[in-house]
Amino acid sequence: MTITSPHLGSSADSWTDARLLYALEEVVEQELNRHLKVAKDWMPHEYVPFSDARNFPGIFEDGEAWEKGQSPVTDIGRIALVVNLLTEDNLPSYHHEIASLFGRDGAWGTWVHRWTAEEGRHGIVMRDYLLASRAVDPDQLEQFRMTHMSEGFESDNRHSMLHSVAYVAFQELATRISHRNTGHQSGDPVCDRMLARIATDENLHMVFYRNLLKAAFELAPDLTMQAVRDVVVNFRMPGHGMPGFERAAAQMAIGEVYNMRIHHDDVLQPVLRFLKVLEIDGLGPEGLKAQEELGLFMGGLDAEASKFDERLAARKARMAARGA
What's 292's domain CATH number?
Answer: 1.10.620.20
In a domain, residue 6? The reply is no
Q: Which of 204, 165, 56, 73 is nearest to 126 (CA)?
A: 73
Phi, psi of 35 (to 5 degrees): -60, -45
Residues with Cβ within 8 Å of 217's Cβ and at least 6 positions away in sequence, in order, are: 224, 225, 275, 277, 280
Q: What is the pLDDT of residue 4?
A: 34
pLDDT digits (tens, 9 = 90+) for 61-109: 889 999 999 999 999 999 999 999 999 999 988 998 999 889 899 999 9
Range of 30's domain? 17-52+72-323
Q: Which amino acid makes up residue 277? A: V
Q: Which amino acid makes up residue 17? A: D
Q: What is the pLDDT of residue 155?
A: 82
Residue 6 has pLDDT above 90, yes or no: no
Contact 83, 245 (CB under 8 A): yes
Q: What is the pLDDT of residue 242?
A: 87
Q: What is the pLDDT of residue 37?
A: 97
In a domain, residue 60? The reply is no
Domain count, the chain: 1
Burial 104-133 (b: 16+ CB within 10 A, else e): eeebbebbbebbbebbebbbebbbbbbbbb
CA distance 10 to 8: 7
Question: Which secondary structure element, helix H or strand E, spans residue 3, and what is its range?
Answer: strand 2-3
pLDDT digits (tens, 9 = 90+) for 110-147: 999 999 999 999 999 999 999 999 999 999 999 999 99
CA distance 117 to 21: 22
In a domain, residue 77? The reply is yes
Q: What is the pLDDT of residue 7?
A: 41
> What is the average pLDDT across 152-173?
91
CA distance 98 to 104: 9
In a domain, residue 76? The reply is yes
In a domain, residue 67? The reply is no
Residue 5 has pLDDT above 70, yes or no: no
Query: What's the full length of the chain, in residues?
Result: 324
Confidence of residue 10 (pLDDT cuts 50, 70, 90): very low
Q: What is the pLDDT of residue 8?
A: 39
In a domain, residue 317? The reply is yes
Residue 189 has pLDDT above 60, yes or no: yes
CA distance 280 to 270: 16
Q: What is the pLDDT of residue 214?
A: 96
pLDDT digits (tens, 9 = 90+) for 283-320: 999 999 999 999 999 999 999 999 999 999 999 888 88
State the pairing for strand pair 2-3/15-16. antiparallel
Q: Which residues are annotated as a binding site for Fe cation?
A: 88, 119, 122, 172, 202, 205
| pLDDT top residue among 323 and 227 | 227
Q: Which residues are annotated as a binding site?
A: 88, 119, 122, 172, 202, 205
In a domain, residue 63? The reply is no
pLDDT digits (tens, 9 = 90+) for 210-257: 999 999 999 999 999 999 999 999 999 988 888 889 999 999 999 999
In a domain, residue 153? The reply is yes
